[in-house]
Copies of this chain bind each other. A is one copy, B any other.
Amino acid sequence: MTVTIKDVAKKAGVSPSTVSRVLSGHPRISLETSRKVKVIMEEMGYTPNMMAKSLVSKTTNSICIILPKPAEELFSNLFFMELIRGIVTQSSRSGYDVLISSGANEKEELEAVSRLLKGRRVDGVILLYSRKDDAVIDFLQSGGYPFVLVGRSDRYEDILSVDNDNIMAAYDATNHLISMGHERIGFVSGPPNLIVSRDRLEGYRTAMQSKGLEMKNEWIVEGEFLQDSGYRAMSFFMNLPNRPTALVAVDDMVSFGVLRGLNELKYKVPEDLAIVSFNNIPLSELSSPPISSIDIGIYHLGYTASQVLIQSIQKPGNQDGYTNRFVIPHRLIVRESSMYAPGK
């Protein structure tokens, strides 16, 4: 039915090994033979069987993305899709296919990863989120399988990872507000167990300190990456005696909550409260007013993750002494929500 290397060989009057060599560009094949074989391959519509190839070469030219379990929320969805696009684009440029996998729980996830890697269906794995993925990461590490983490992990120093410099990003965001003339700046953080929350908080603190600005404890509130947190934080802040004139929010969704609340109370943004947040989701520029945000380059994050992984697959001895943490640059996008210099 399907045309194999042998069929091509027979028709071309050469041996299968010759055809194989033509395919792989082996140096010791005469130009004439090579051309002849190529023509015949074309004629017969030959496509190499990847399974057979993989079997002997012990290589699949494909990688796998492990999706965290639920991923139901808006930002997650946008984030993952953007990441996937970056990964798929880069992988495809490098000639790799991308598998998506996920499990209902950590056990299933581990089983899937093990099956894919030990079963030689993929050459490496991209892990999203640095939750407490101990089991999966341990498996990958002890098995010596190539993998890269998107997001930072503090537990493992020696694994490949791609991430932003969230400390610096938060520093930049805060500093932007300071340079606009703000002195009382609030911060809405995320869950304290996430490294990203901690890093961003640290960046905020550093900026405030370095400018000698006061940092009241009541100006820092914890929340989730959700609208509600913003809404609550807003009403808390606005009732403070000496309330902040600006705030940094750990995620754009939080800003939307803040915005909604301020709107209901007839406050004006940025005049009554200036806002900067993180992630620059497509909606940030669509809200009214548009929100200033730190673009973390999600697509780029995915693109680089794929690049790093494939590199590590192709030359496993990547211990060049170089770093194994890759930092994707961020970029502050200033929009209306922070374009106001407060009078003293």
Contacts and interface: CB of A to CB of B under 8 A. Distances in A.
Contacts of A112: 92
A222 interface: no
A236 to B, nearest CB: 20
Interface in A59-109: 60, 62, 67, 71, 73-74, 77-78, 80-82, 84-85, 88-89, 92, 97-103
A119 interface: yes
Interface residues of A, number: 49
A141 interface: no
A2 interface: yes
Contact of A99 (B97, B103, B120, B263): B97
A114 interface: yes
B288 A118 contact: no
A49 interface: yes
A114 B47 CA distance: 8
Number of copies: 2
A260 B74 CA distance: 21
Contact of A120 (B51, B60, B116, B227): B51
* Residue from A47, A73, A89, A260 having most chain B Cβ neighbours under 10 A: A47
A47 B92 contact: no
A107 to B, nearest CB: 14
A48 interface: yes
Contact of A101 (B81, B98, B283): B98
A88 to B, nearest CB: 5
Interface string A253-288: 000100010010000000000000000001100101
Nearest to A102: B88
A311 interface: no
* Residue from A51, A71, A89 having most chain B Cβ neighbours under 10 A: A51
Contact of A100 (B48, B84, B119, B283): B84
A121 B50 contact: yes
Contacts of A97: 99, 101, 116, 121
B60 A51 contact: yes
Given A48-B119, A51-B120, A71-B81, 11 more contacts: A47-B114, A47-B118, A49-B55, A51-B54, A71-B85, A77-B78, A78-B78, A88-B102, A92-B101, A92-B103, A260-B286
